[in-house]
Amino acid sequence: MAGTVNHDYHILPPDIWPLVGSLSALTFTSGMVLYMHEMANAWLVLGLGIAGLIATFFSWFSNIVKEAQTGHHTPVVQLHMRYGMILFIASEVMFFVGWFWSWFDFALFPSTISEVVGGQFPPKGIEAVMDPFSLPLLNTLILLCSGTTVTWAHHALIHGDRDGLKKGLWLTIILGVIFTCIQAYEYAHAPFGFGGNTYSSAFYMATGFHGFHVLVGTIFLIVCLVRAYKGHFTPKQHFGFEAAAWYWHFVDVVWLFLFVVVYIWGGWGAPIH
């Protein structure tokens, strides 16, 4: 018959959400530029971009979940989705490599920075730095614990223990929320603001983008928890959860590098706040 499927691939029907997502991302970044330059209608443009992104995430992810539940995610499709997730995480790794590169450049070659008198790092404009062995260390332990709980949830799913899957996801989500709250508290009581010198700018950009990734990863895990309660995942087909777990381990590893490079090594010898 003409409509018979004789291959393992999934031919997607036309969908408007990739276009909506692209336009929303453009609107969001444009709104951020307007906001940073304190221009008119910045909040309107930014709000439209955020609303479009939220609508895209909800609708596009819903379509993907429906495709998985209707059997379109064959082993071949799942394999290619794994390749896609690996490439996505690789691009995220290079994103953070850029921030680490700038941090090492500022720290190792301070004499080339005109703002620094005497060529020191942290710059003289930084009167004190974060104590790495207080809140940052606590957040490190929290993320490491969350890595074990999401692994517990994954192994529970593989062995058909749905109760263990739900408990592991709940604990991981709670730990992720606690991490975000502690980082927000740390920012609110930081001894230096954003901008003004290379140290503070690189510090907030690197740790802030990581915090954003933790927030996104927490949302991914919340979606997985909802799907777990609906009985979507099986021991042999659960790529949605697996991708979220990979992403969560990625933010764990990035934080370990940030903790060592930015908090401990980057502020070495400077007064502690």
Q: Domains in the chain, ordered, with CATH?
A: 12-72 (1.10.287.70), 74-265 (1.20.120.80)
- Mean pLDDT for 257-264 is 93
| Whether residue 271 has a cis bond before it, omega within 30° of 0 | no
Which pLDDT tens digit goes with each residue over 50-73? 999 999 989 988 888 888 777 777
**Half-sphere exposure in the Cβ direction for 173 (13 Å, CA):** 15
| Separation of alpha carbons 49 and 41, rounded Å | 13
pLDDT-derived band at 36, boundaries 50, 70, 90: confident
pLDDT-derived band at 117, boundaries 50, 70, 90: very low
**pTM (two decimals):** 0.86
What pLDDT is stored for residue 115 in this prediction?
53
Residue 3 scores a pLDDT above 60: no
Residue 77 scores a pLDDT above 60: yes
Q: Tokens 């907030």 label which residue? A: 204
Mean pLDDT of all residues belonging to the chain: 88
Residue 118 scores a pLDDT above 70: no
Residue 129 dihedral angles phi and psi, to the nearest 5°: -120, 170
Percent of the chain with pLDDT over 70: 92
Alpha helices in the chain (DSSP H): 17-36, 42-69, 75-108, 135-158, 162-188, 198-229, 239-258
